Amino acid sequence: MTGRRSLGTLLRQAREAKGLSLERLARDLNVRESVLRSLEADVYEQLPIGRERPLARQVAERLDVDLGEHPEAWEALPGGMAEEVADPKRERLERLVMGALSAGSLGLLAWLVVPGPNLKSGAMNEAISPHAMQHPLAGPQVLPPKSTQPYPVLGEVLPEAPRTTEGLLVSLRAQDICLAHIAAEGFDERRTLQVSEPWLARVKGPFTLSLDNAGVASVEVGGRVIRHGQSVGEAWVGRFNAEGQWLRPKAPEGPPPTAPEVDSDASVEH
């Protein structure tokens, strides 16, 4: 055995020949540097159990070391004697196939578990059309056109974060028909609000919100409810800064109080 190099020595010499540091090799292979150091020192008990040979093959492939030319060094590794050196391409293909089979099994299991109640009520779901489930005041459902603006978020189901880097979340809901208009820099849209059809939009920077029937609409800006106090049929215009704060207009100053008029013709009898 004198003169034969161990597997760790082979890998270390190959790494040094390529001018790679342990830190760089660990980063390339996504392996801890301490594990590579133990492999080069032939301290196999400090390697992950059951991963000695796969790890050695991974390092050898990166360093262009043909393990078939060093059978004695390979046999010294734990995990069996004279084990055939696996083809890395075949290993990757096997991992892909196993991953696909696992994903398919999970999908089949989810399909069997989740839609169970829907299968039982399938006939009822077929009998009820989507139009029959709408609110009687809403009329036929018309999907809003896809917006070309950078920040709108329409038709959301899951709750949205009130503030993100894309802007403030403006949420508008109505109990009857109401025309809404949001105007900001780079954003200018109008929507006709209807029952059960909320409008969620992302607005960045100061903006103005206008409602022609404010009494039927509820407004939230950045997660805060805006109580505009308008009645049905009344219009309302609200201006907001970039932080979503409502810039309430100042109350108009009334005329100064005047002294009561005195009748100059009145006389006082004594």
Residue-wise pLDDT for 3-51, tens only, equals 578 898 999 999 999 999 999 999 999 999 999 999 999 898 888 888 8
Give strand ranges (E) for the chain.
163-164, 167-174, 178-184, 187-193, 199-203, 207-211, 217-221, 224-226, 236-240
104 or 87, which is more confident:
104
CA–CA distance, 230 with 236 (Å, rounded to integer)? 7
Percent of the chain's residues with pLDDT above 90: 21
Look-up of token digits 């309430």: 248
Question: Cβ(186)–Cβ(170) under 8 Å?
Answer: no
Number of helices (H), then strands (E), in the chain:
8, 9
Residues of the chain with CATH 1.10.260.40: 7-88
pLDDT at residue 82 in the model: 39
For the segment 88-112, the average pLDDT, to the nearest whole number, is 80
Residues β-bridged to residue 118: none
Pick the CATH number of 7-88 from 3.20.20.70, 3.20.20.120, 1.10.260.40, 3.40.50.300: 1.10.260.40
Q: How confident is the model at residue 92 (pLDDT cuts 50, 70, 90)?
A: confident
Q: What integer best gives the mean pLDDT of the chain?
A: 77
